[in-house]
Amino acid sequence: MKRLLIILDPAHGEEVEGKRSPDGRHREYRWSRERLKQIELLLTACGYTVVWTNTTDAEIGLTKRKNVATQLGKQHPDLVPLLVSLHNDASGVTPEWRQARGVSVWTSKGRTTSDIFADYFIQRIQEWMPEVQRRIYSPTYLDRDFENDFTVLMGDYSALLIECGFQDNREDLSLLEDPKFCKRIEDRIVDSIEDCENYITQKLSK
Ligand SMILES: [Zn+2]
């Protein structure tokens, strides 16, 4: 029996403006849902309880996502809830190709399970994805908190939001369209969740 309750939080919705590559061929909402569905299969096979904030292709709103996640946590009082939100980044709002590249991991305020995940995940990314920059918003993980921008990071659960690649950068977009890259991202997210699970299990058994 795994201790973590994994709450998957897919990005945006089909009808949301922007949130796509400048030429429109990449859609963030779809990429996020495709990855999270694969991650759900892998996690379920490992014995995790996996739930979703939103099982539709539509945007339900950040406040609703947060409330649903809080409820899901309450429905599983014996588990430790961890919300995983998966996005693609963009460095501008108008549809133009831009220079910024890389991956960022945002975590809940304070030192929580999400920071344990971020540490493992970022370590793994650096090992196998040197061509993608790690964007560091702050030098220490205790300061890696901009939760005011991310309502889903403010609930009664530990949450992380991964901005995986810039959809308005040609090089990053070619990675996001590469099935091998997508599979590696899925696997590394699952591996890092396993690391979190092991860390928590060890802490709780002491
Ligand atoms: Zn997004």
Instruction: Count the domains in the chain.
Output: 1
Residue predicted with more confidence, 8 or 204: 8
**Banded model confidence at residue 196, pLDDT cuts 50, 70, 90:** very high
CATH number at residue 196: 3.40.630.40
Question: Exposed, middle or buried, 96 (CB in 10 Å: 0-12/13-18/19+)?
Answer: exposed
Residue-wise pLDDT tens digits, 129-181: 665 555 544 444 434 444 444 566 666 788 889 999 999 999 999 999 999 99
Residue 58 pLDDT: 98
CA of 99 to the centre of ligand 1 (A): 18
DSSP 133: P
**Banded model confidence at residue 119, pLDDT cuts 50, 70, 90:** confident
CA of 87 to the centre of ligand 1 (A): 4
Output the CA–CA distances (angstroms, integers) from residue 115 to 91, 101, 180, in the order listed.
24, 22, 26
Question: Where do we find the tokens 């540490």?
Answer: 119
Chain center to CA of 73: 18
CA of 205 to the centre of ligand 1 (A): 37
Chain center to CA of 23: 24
Question: Exposed, middle or buried, 78 (CB in 10 Å: 0-12/13-18/19+)?
Answer: exposed
CA of 33 to the centre of ligand 1 (A): 12
Helix (H, G, I), strand (E, B) or coil at 98: coil
Angle between helices 113-128 and 179-205 (to 10 degrees): 140
**Banded model confidence at residue 69, pLDDT cuts 50, 70, 90:** very high
Ligand 1 ion local residues (Cβ < 5 A) = 11, 87
Output the CA–CA distances (angstroms, integers) from residue 178 to 35, 113, 120, 129, 174, in the order listed.
12, 30, 23, 13, 6
- By residue range, what is the domain housing residue 134? 4-205
Residue 148 pLDDT: 47
Q: Report whether pLDDT(98) > 50.
A: yes
CA of 194 to the centre of ligand 1 (A): 25
Residue-wise pLDDT tens digits, 42-64: 999 999 999 999 999 999 998 89
Residue 137 pLDDT: 45
